[in-house]
Amino acid sequence: MDSWVVKVLVVLVTFMLMEGVAWFTHKYVMHGLCWFLHSDHHQKDHPGFFERNDFFFLIFAIPGIICLALGSLYNVQLALYIGIGITAYGAAYFFIHDIFIHQRFKFLRKTDNRYFKALRRAHKMHHKHVNKEHGECFGMLWVPLKYFKS
């Protein structure tokens, strides 16, 4: 197998594994020990543009930054491509979650795409629970089939 194929596979596999990491940390860390940071994200009326929940952006960026630095500064190729996968997932998360779903920036408002409608529906079900208990739909990109139904 060509070297570039392996690199692309590492990036893609890392990106896909990040969905599992996001689900696990959302369910057990954000809705667990770190609820004090995440709780304002489940409130309809929080003051200002930023939320305490935004600290998770910084927390989750650290592994990607470390991997990119190892790859760039010390020529650790595997770390570089893992870092690219983590960073790509972080960018996707920002665009999907903050821009598309929560409309923190007012564009990408309308879509007729079945997947994106299901994604919004699943996330809305997640936010119907305002406390840390009894939540559902903790992932971001993987949407249970039941949300594809109108």
pTM: 0.90
Separation of alpha carbons 99 and 116, rounded Å? 13
The whole-number pLDDT of residue 146 equals: 92
Around Cβ 100, how many Cβ atoms within 10 Å?
Answer: 19
The 10s digit of each residue's pLDDT in 41-89 is 988 777 778 899 999 999 999 999 999 999 999 999 999 999 999 999 9
Q: Using an 8 Å Cβ cutoff, are 87 and 68 in contact?
A: yes
Separation of alpha carbons 59 and 139, rounded Å? 17
Phi, psi of 128 (to 5 degrees): -70, -20
The 10s digit of each residue's pLDDT in 82-129 is 999 999 999 999 999 999 998 888 877 888 899 999 999 999 999 888
- Provide mean pLDDT across the span 20-28: 95
Separation of alpha carbons 92 and 89, rounded Å? 5
Q: Using an 8 Å Cβ cutoff, are 120 and 101 in contact?
A: yes
Task: HSE, CB side, 13 Å, CA atoms: give it for residue 55.
Answer: 10
Around Cβ 34, how many Cβ atoms within 10 Å?
Answer: 18
% residues pLDDT > 90 (the chain)? 73
Confidence of residue 134 (pLDDT cuts 50, 70, 90): confident
